Amino acid sequence: MYSAPAEKTDSGNFPEEMNAEGVEILSGDPKKAIIKLSVPMIVAMSVQTVYQLVDTYWVSGLGADALAAMGFVFPFFFISMALSNGLGIGGGSAISRRIGARDKAGADNVAVHTIVMMMLLVLIFTIPFYVFAPQIFSLVGAGQTTYLAVAYARVIFLGSLVVFFTNVANAILRAEGDSKRAMQAMVLGAALNIVLDPIFIYTFNMGIAGAAWATLLSLAVSSLMMLNWLFLRKDTFVSFNFKDFSFEKDIVNDIFRVTIPASTQQLSMSLSMLILNLIIVNVSNTDGVAVYSTGWRVATIAIAPLIGIATAMVSVSGAAFGAKEFEKAKTAHTYAIKLGLLIESGVAVFTFIFAPQIAAVFTQTEDAAHIAPDLVHFLRVICIFYPSVSLGMLSTSFFQGAGKGMNALTANLLRTIVFTPLFAALFAFTLNMGQVGAWWGIVIGNGMGAGVTFVWARLYLSTILKTEPLNKPVEQGF
């Protein structure tokens, strides 16, 4: 292909000039690796979710209709995140496994393929969603908030390249264990967004579209930082050479083995949100969607530590499977689960106690004040499922790192497309509990899905440890 195979020393390690701190972390103690890689990402994800809350806070000043419009757009924004994150997870998993197998040239090859595939996805996503935005939001029940949803969404759709590159480049950095710089890019973008939101929304009088422009500009700054590291300074472990590039079937298949299930998994979350929006509109009105979308943004900051640990889990389990060190993968999974359960139990207690104060932050204006009691109720119900998220999210990341994306996808589809909508509809309609029933459906559906994923991961680990000799590569297929 376009890059020469990496030389190896007699010990089987990379040559000295190829060593990098992140690679050494991935090759060491899995518990330490989880901590060292997850802490920067926990910080980054926490700052990012704080920005999302600040974003919601400033938009809440425009009234409940603006909050509802954001709620209708969020599943579609989540689609772009799902596709880019899915590709990043797929490419990152393949890179980590090649790093674990001491294949530098293979890691470089995967990185180049990932960037080229990202560019193709941007074109496929951007054009139809931008052009048909009014029709799309009318179909999903936005009603009187359609014009606000279109104003916000079209800016986001227009900047899809920035959204996609930010997520994919960040995943490449994490895959080689460079979580510190991944954190720096994410934190700077989030902090900038917090500053720009009120300026674009109110000072420039751009309304809800101003929030979208602030988001896009902030992501652009993060993208430029990573563009500099990856392509200009070229001081990352993986390197890029696009000269004479051509797709290699084996590499594309390896990336897609995780990308397709990971993207589908996250897309199913978008579909689940759309279904829940329709259920809520039918048992309540657009105010119910405003409660759900605002409360769910609070939930995202509550599970931000888990997202940080999960990103570390993909890299650590990927490197362990690449090196055929399955006991290390088991240790990493067990340790990550315990850490996640401990953190999320504390977060759940905090959220339950301070739900009124949290809700008050987003309902200060006269137009939004009437949803405050419902928002408090939502926050106190939804926090019950926070600890169980650890079981599902971290087991999913374990499967993704191991290259077993379909396992995670199957369990996730049960959660998002079957369990959650089924119980939400059952409680909301059949048991006549209204929108509160939808909240309980979310809790029970997510909890059941998390339990299934965790049990599956442990059974898979047990089977691998019994049947796979250490000198035989693990099958990375579906």
pLDDT tens digits, residue range 280-305?
Answer: 888 877 777 778 878 887 887 888 88
> So what's the pLDDT on residue 55?
80
Are 333 and 228 found together in one domain? Answer: no
pLDDT digit string (tens) for 411-435?
Answer: 778 888 888 888 888 998 888 888 8
Residue 222 counted as domain residue = yes
Banded model confidence at residue 315, pLDDT cuts 50, 70, 90: confident
Taking the C-alpha atoms of residue 109 and residue 225, their distance in angstroms, rounded to an integer, is 22
Last residue of a domain, one of 197, 224, 247: 247
Are 242 and 267 found together in one domain? Answer: no
Banded model confidence at residue 469, pLDDT cuts 50, 70, 90: low
> So what's the pLDDT on residue 19?
42
Are 141 and 226 found together in one domain? Answer: yes
Are 236 and 275 found together in one domain? Answer: no
Are 302 and 445 found together in one domain? Answer: yes
Are 301 and 323 found together in one domain? Answer: yes
Q: Decide which of 329 and 4 is more confident.
A: 329
Its domain, for residue 310, covers 261-472
Are 233 and 335 found together in one domain? Answer: no
Write out the H or E segment, with its range, that includes residue 197.
helix 179-198
Residue 87 counted as domain residue = yes
pLDDT digit string (tens) for 36-77?
Answer: 888 888 888 777 777 777 787 888 888 878 888 888 887 788
Q: Is residue 349 pLDDT above 60, yes or no?
A: yes
Residue closest to 317 by CA, chosen among 104, 37, 4: 37
Q: Is residue 337 pLDDT above 50, yes or no?
A: yes
Are 326 and 415 found together in one domain? Answer: yes
> So what's the pLDDT on residue 41?
81
Q: Is residue 340 pLDDT above 90, yes or no?
A: yes
Residue 126 counted as domain residue = yes
Task: Give CA separation, 145 vs 20, 63, 134, 150, 218, in Å.
Answer: 51, 11, 11, 9, 26
Residue 253 counted as domain residue = no
Residue closest to 34 by CA, chosen among 274, 298, 343, 365: 343
Q: Is residue 476 pLDDT above 70, yes or no?
A: no
Q: Is residue 472 pLDDT above 60, yes or no?
A: no
Banded model confidence at residue 277, pLDDT cuts 50, 70, 90: confident
> So what's the pLDDT on residue 20?
57
Are 270 and 238 found together in one domain? Answer: no
Residue with tokens 């500099």: 228
Q: Are 279 and 52 spatial neighbours (Cβ–Cβ below 8 Å)? A: no
Q: Decide which of 327 and 370 is more confident.
A: 327
> So what's the pLDDT on residue 209?
93
Are 137 and 75 found together in one domain? Answer: yes
pTM equals 0.70
pLDDT digit string (tens) for 214-237?
Answer: 989 999 999 999 999 999 998 889
Taking the C-alpha atoms of residue 239 and residue 427, their distance in angstroms, rounded to an integer, is 53
Max mean pLDDT range (7-11, 249-253, 265-269, 405-409)? 249-253
> So what's the pLDDT on residue 430?
85
Q: Are 265 and 453 spatial neighbours (Cβ–Cβ below 8 Å)? A: no
Residue closest to 41 by CA, chosen among 230, 300, 311: 311
Last residue of a domain, one of 223, 247, 271: 247
Taking the C-alpha atoms of residue 150 and residue 158, their distance in angstroms, rounded to an integer, is 12
Contacts of 352 (CB under 8 A, 6+ apart): 379, 380, 383
Residue 281 counted as domain residue = yes
Q: What mean pLDDT comes out for the span 18-25?
A: 65
pLDDT digit string (tens) for 96-154?
Answer: 999 888 899 999 999 999 999 999 999 988 989 999 999 999 888 888 889 999 999 99
> So what's the pLDDT on residue 56?
78
Are 318 and 237 found together in one domain? Answer: no
Residue 11 counted as domain residue = no
Taking the C-alpha atoms of residue 415 and residue 453, their distance in angstroms, rounded to an integer, is 9
Contacts of 104 (CB under 8 A, 6+ apart): 5, 6, 14, 18, 98, 237
Residue closest to 66 by CA, chosen among 231, 209, 215, 241: 209
Are 271 and 234 found together in one domain? Answer: no
Q: Is residue 470 pLDDT above 60, yes or no?
A: no
Taking the C-alpha atoms of residue 248 and residue 244, their distance in angstroms, rounded to an integer, is 12
Q: How many domains does the chain have?
A: 2
Residue 225 counted as domain residue = yes
Last residue of a domain, one of 192, 216, 247: 247
> So what's the pLDDT on residue 361?
82
Q: Are 87 and 257 spatial neighbours (Cβ–Cβ below 8 Å)? A: no
